[in-house]
Structures are given as C-alpha cells and as structure tokens.
Chain A
Amino acid sequence: AQTIHQWPVAEIKAVGSPLSLGCTIKGKSSPNLYWYWQATGGTLQQLFYSITVGQVESVVQLNLSASRPKDDQFILSTEKLLLSHSGFYLCAWSLWGAEQYFGPGTRLTVL
C-alpha cells in the first residue's frame, strides 16, 4: 500500500530564516507530486507540481521554490521566510492527473 509522509509535523520559524519541508511517497512508482498551501480559514492554493524527477512547475509565485531530487521525494523551500508564509502545507500525489491523495500536512508558524 502507498504511504505519504511529510516532515516536519510542525515548525515555528523567524521571519527571514530559511525553510525546508519534505514529502516522501512510498509504494507508488513515478507519481505526480503536488504542493499546496492552506491558509487559516481553509482555502487551498496549489503551489507546485511535478510529473517527473528533476522537473517542477510553479503555479503561483509566493517566494517559495520546490525540487524533486528523487522519484519519491518532493521538497519545498525558501531562503527567507515571510509572515505570509504561515499556514498549513500539504503534499499530494496522483496518477495521470486525476484524484489526489494527500499527506498529513506540516503546520508552519512564522513569527
């Protein structure tokens, strides 16, 4: 069975500090991978997607970047956090761009 793991579970960071969030999918070969940001109040915003190793497409510009160094790994990062980066970050996977399966999320608080 496929599993999706996100790390860390939660982070408290200072404005201006760097950030790296990770996502790993096990049990699925060559999945499509996605990063979402969810603000307090619940609206989902897709940030990035990747359909193959080494290729990442940006959906919105929020001073974040993403990379896919391995088939089963998706990394979200920034060198300088803003207050507006606070929220809930969700990783998801799919096959052929249809239904998505989400990870448990990482809660980020920027102070």
Chain B
Amino acid sequence: AQSVTQPDARVTVSEGASLQLRCKYSYFGTPYLFWYVQYPRQGLQLLLKYYPGDPVVQGVNGFEAEFSKSNSSFHLRKASVHWSDWAVYFCAVTSGGNYKPTFGKGTSLVVHP
C-alpha cells in the first residue's frame, strides 16, 4: 500500500533562515512525487514535481526537493524563507495512470519576523 508521512505537523522558522520539510513515502513501483502549498482559504498549488530522473528538482519561489530511493524520502528545502512562505505544505505520491494519489497530512510552516 502506498503512504506518505510528514512527521512534522508544524515547523517554525525565522525569516531568512533555511528550511527543510520532511516527507517519507512508501510506494510499490516507480513513484512520482509532488509538493503542494496551500495558503489560507485557498486551494492547493503545485510547488514542484519529481518524475524518475534527476533526484534534485527545482520548483517555484526558490524551493527545491531531493528524491532519495534508499531513504524513501522527498524532503523540501529552501535556502532563505520569506514571510510569504507561511502556509501548509503537502507531500504526495502517485504514478502515471494511478488516479488515487496519496497525500501526507501536511506541515504547517510558521514564519517569524
């Protein structure tokens, strides 16, 4: 069975600090992995996506993520957090032709000035 674990329900960082949000997945087959961001009272927006290939993928607004098959992980990183990054971040796993993706429970990012 496929699963996604985001072990941190909430992460607090200072503006300008670096960030890592953790995501561990379990998937039978070749996984496609995604990070989505949700701002208050809005839908989810795709932040970045991983298809088999280069393990480091770049997304919007300076975000990047690294796929690790050995660790079953897809952690999200950003070098310098901005106050506008205050949001909830979801990790998800699926594959082509799989119409039931699995989402993690989300990590709420709080940014302090």
Contacts and interface: CB of A to CB of B under 8 A. Distances in A.
Whether chain B is bound by chain A comes out as yes
Interface of A: 32, 34, 42-44, 46, 49, 51, 57, 59, 90, 92, 96-105, 107
A104 B99 contact: no
B105 A98 contact: no
Contacts of B96: 96-98
B101 A100 contact: yes
B88 A42 contact: yes
A98 B45 CA distance: 14
A104 B95 CA distance: 24
B95 A103 contact: no
A49 B98 CA distance: 11
Contact of A90 (B44, B51, B88, B97): B44
B70 interface: no
The A contact surface, by secondary structure, is: strand
Contacts of A49: 99-100
Interface of B: 32, 34, 36, 38, 41-46, 49, 51, 88, 90, 94-101, 103, 105-106, 108
Given A97-B98, A98-B96, A43 B106 contact: yes
B99 A99 contact: no
A103 B46 CA distance: 12
A32 B45 contact: no
24 contacts: A34-B99, A42-B38, A42-B105, A42-B106, A42-B108, A43-B103, A43-B106, A44-B106, A49-B99, A59-B100, A96-B96, A97-B96, A98-B32, A98-B49, A98-B51, A98-B96, A99-B32, A100-B46, A102-B43, A102-B44, A103-B43, A104-B42, A105-B42, A107-B41
Nearest to B44: A102
Contacts of A43: 103, 105-106
